Amino acid sequence: MKTILITGGSGLVGSAIRNISLDYCHDYNFIFLSSNDCDLTNYTNTFSTFSTFNPDYVIHLAACVGGLFKNMAYKVDMFEKNIIINTNVLKVCHEIKVKKVISCLSTCIFPDKTTYPIDETMLHNGPPHTSNDAYAYAKRMLEVQSRAYQEQYNDNFICVIPTNIYGPYDNFNLQDSHVIPALIHKCYLAKQNNEQFVIAGSGNPLRQFIYSEDLAKLILWTLENYYQLDPIILSVPESDEKSIHYVASCIAKEFNYCDNMSFDKEKPDGQFKKTANNTKLAQFLPNFQFTPIEKGISTTIAWFIKNYDSCRK
């Protein structure tokens, strides 16, 4: 039986992989590594931990992440911590001869000024949006590092590029989380306190959102079936792009709080759109069924309410 080690194993996507891992348990032994198990910013700790498990494959999800405001306020942290984590993980995977490494990027790394939809070939065609440039450049370097290991050592180190991920086990912190979990927590508190559900910005920006278990299935498909060395975008189709206004309305509807929404247009919107082309994925999996965002949000809110006392927030 082959071993898959997942960094960031207690996070949003790692937890989603754990939830579906029983469907693969006859083929793989899964090791879910959290920050409590290994400090990936420490090379010696990383080497010791990885050597102990001696994985055949590594799915590298761990990162220093946050939403728009964390990306803007803590640029040094977002850049340096991610550079160190990624360097340690890839270096150790090379040294212990891991057969395949799949590293997770983000569509925020694509150029700010570009044509849409963006595809895998456009990754380095210009600077990212200034609101998240430090994080984006660190993630871009993960693709550069992976390609360098391919070219110098023939290592099978590849990258996947998901669009905005959401689902159970997310970080629901009001300041540091991504848009859907932040809005869910904010709406929950607004209803609890009988206050306005205020959404920062105009609500006009557009995003493609992918449910975490859909992404987990696609990452494991990539591990088993994707043999190219170039990155691949893992995303819902362009037609499933939604505005922040629509997402907030779906959340408010689940809380039965639609009449108490407002938008603070004095707050920044960030990048207006970053529409990704999933044609490459669709060529391999033309019939993949993505979870509709309305269903995904409903499931995520139910999980959040049930686990409110213990979830990250």
Give the residue numbers annotated as catalytic, written as ranges.
135
How long, in residues, is the chain? 313
Residue 81, C-beta contacts closer than 8 angstroms, at least 6 positions apart: 41, 64
In which residue are the tokens 């590029």 written? Answer: 161
Judge whether 226 and 276 are in contact, CB under 8 Å.
no
How far is residue 146's CA from residue 109's CA, in Å, rounded to a whole number? Answer: 15
Q: How many CB atoms lie within 10 A of CB 218?
A: 22
Radius of gyration (C-alpha) of the chain in whole angstroms: 19
Name which of 145, 107, 114 is nearest 241 in CA terms: 107
Sign of the Cα torsion 115, 159, 35, 172 reads: positive
Q: Where are the alpha helices (DSSP H) in the chain?
A: 12-20, 43-53, 68-73, 75-95, 133-153, 179-192, 212-225, 244-254, 279-284, 293-306
